A and B are shown apart, each in its own frame.
Chain A
Amino acid sequence: MEAKTKDLWVFVETKEDGSAKNVGIELLNPGRELADKQGGKLVAVVIGCGVKAAVEEAACHGADQVLYVDGEEFRQYSTDAYVAALDHLVETYGPTTMLIGATPNGRDMGPRLSSRLQTGLTADCTGLAIDEETGCVAWTRPAFGGNLMATILCTDHRPQLGTVRPGVFKKPAAGEAKAEITKVDFSFPAEGIRTEILEVIKETAGELVDLEGADIIVAGGRGVGSAEGFAPVRELAEALGATVGASRAAVDAGWISHSHQVGQTGKTVGPKLYIACGISGAIQHLAGMSASDVIVAINKDADAPIFGVADYGIVGNLFEVLPALTAEIKKRKG
Chain B
Amino acid sequence: MNILVCIKQVPDTTEIKIDPVTNTLVRDGVPSIINPFDGYALEAAARIKDQDPDTRIVVLSMGPKQAEAALREALAIAADKAYLVTDRMFGGSDTLATSYILYNAISKVEELEGLKFDAIFCGKQAIDGDTAQVGPELAELLNYPQVTYALEATNADGTLHILKEGEDGNYLIGVKTPCLITFTKPSFDPRFPTIKRKMAARKAVIENLTSAELPNIDPARAGLKGSPTKVKKTFVPPRKEAGVVIKEETGEESAQKLFTLLSEAHVI
Contacts and interface: CB of A to CB of B under 8 A. Distances in A.
Interface string A112-124: 1011101111111
Interface of A: 79-80, 83, 103-104, 107-112, 114-116, 118-124, 131, 138, 142-157, 194-203, 208-210, 212, 216, 240, 258-259, 264-265, 272-273, 282-284, 287, 293-296, 302, 307-317, 319-322, 324-325, 328-329, 332
Given A145-B16, A199-B171, A332-B259, A121 B243 contact: no
Interface string B82-110: 00000000000011100100000000000
B145 A80 contact: yes
B136 to A, nearest CB: 4
A107 B166 CA distance: 12
A166 B233 CA distance: 23
B268 interface: yes
A154 B228 contact: yes
B230 A153 contact: yes
A124 B136 CA distance: 15
26 contacts: A79-B136, A108-B148, A112-B136, A116-B140, A118-B228, A120-B94, A120-B229, A121-B96, A123-B130, A142-B237, A149-B234, A149-B237, A151-B233, A152-B230, A152-B231, A194-B176, A195-B173, A202-B168, A265-B184, A272-B267, A302-B247, A308-B239, A313-B246, A314-B251, A315-B246, A316-B254
Contacts of A145: 13-14, 16, 127, 130
Interface of B: 11, 13-14, 16, 18, 25, 94-96, 99, 127-141, 145-149, 161, 163, 165-176, 179, 184-185, 187, 227-237, 239-240, 243-248, 250-252, 254-256, 258-259, 261-263, 265, 267-268
A307 B245 contact: yes
Given A138-B232, A197-B173, A259 B168 contact: yes
Contacts of B255: 314, 320-322, 324-325, 328
A284 B12 CA distance: 12
Which 10 pairs show the lowest CB-CB distances between chains A and B?
Answer: A320-B251, A120-B228, A194-B145, A324-B255, A115-B140, A111-B133, A120-B229, A111-B136, A202-B169, A115-B137
Contacts of B129: 123, 143
A104 B166 contact: yes
Contacts of A199: 171-172
B259 A328 contact: yes
B146 A108 contact: yes
B243 A311 contact: yes
A332 B256 CA distance: 11
B236 A296 contact: no
A236 to B, nearest CB: 10
